[in-house]
Amino acid sequence: QSRFVGDVATSNFDLGGLLAMGKLGRVSLDADLDGVMGGGQFVANIDGQVPLFDFNDYSYDSIALRGRIDNRRFEGVVGSDDHNLDFDFNGAVDFNGEVPRYDFALNLDRADLHALNFNRRDTVSVVGARLTANGSGNSLDNLNGTVRISDAEYVGLKDTIRTQSILLRGENSEGSKYVALNSDFADATFRSRLS
């Protein structure tokens, strides 16, 4: 293993072209790194600013991150003061296993889904919410843990929808499937041996 300490800076780097990912574009980054690499491992503490990040034909700015990267696991804080995406993330996400694991809190103050090109049908499409997640999984079939959404508000072209609490809980294995949704407006439970 080799230890490294230094600064990484890019300006308008074509990350999408390098990774052959159409929705990903240019990135500008200035970050301090301190870590070790070698023997199939990459572990680093990172403290950085991302003044430009192109994704889905939108250029994000004002993103900051601080934390620890351990191979494909990140633990720390990420925030954005972008005009169309204002959020604070604090916690951990781990993509080292077969399914992702997570334990985080996300305060989404504002996301303009139309401006960010996620909802192109409506000219007004803004969402905000508080989200906490603890568990593992990337689908309802392998969700094990809880996802809680609170103080959610969606402002659309015709109406505003608000809810105080949505709780999604899963307990899944090869032979047993269980998913429960509890909210202000609907409750549902799925229990089966099949997907």
pLDDT values of the chain reduced to their tens digit, one per residue, 195 residues: 899 999 999 999 999 999 888 899 999 999 999 999 998 889 999 999 999 999 999 999 999 999 999 999 999 999 999 999 999 999 999 999 889 999 999 999 999 999 999 998 889 999 999 999 999 999 988 999 999 999 999 999 889 999 999 999 999 998 899 999 999 989 999 999 888
- Note the pLDDT of residue 54: 96
Which residues contact residue 190 at a Cβ distance below 8 angstroms, ignoring those fewer than 6 apart? 140, 177, 178, 179, 180
- Note the pLDDT of residue 106: 98
Cα of first residue to Cα of last residue in the chain, in angstroms, is 43
- Which among 194, 94, 95 is positioned nearest to 141, based on CA atoms? 194
- Note the pLDDT of residue 154: 95
- Note the pLDDT of residue 169: 97
How far, in Å, CA of 116 to CA of 192, rounded?
Answer: 38
- Note the pLDDT of residue 19: 87
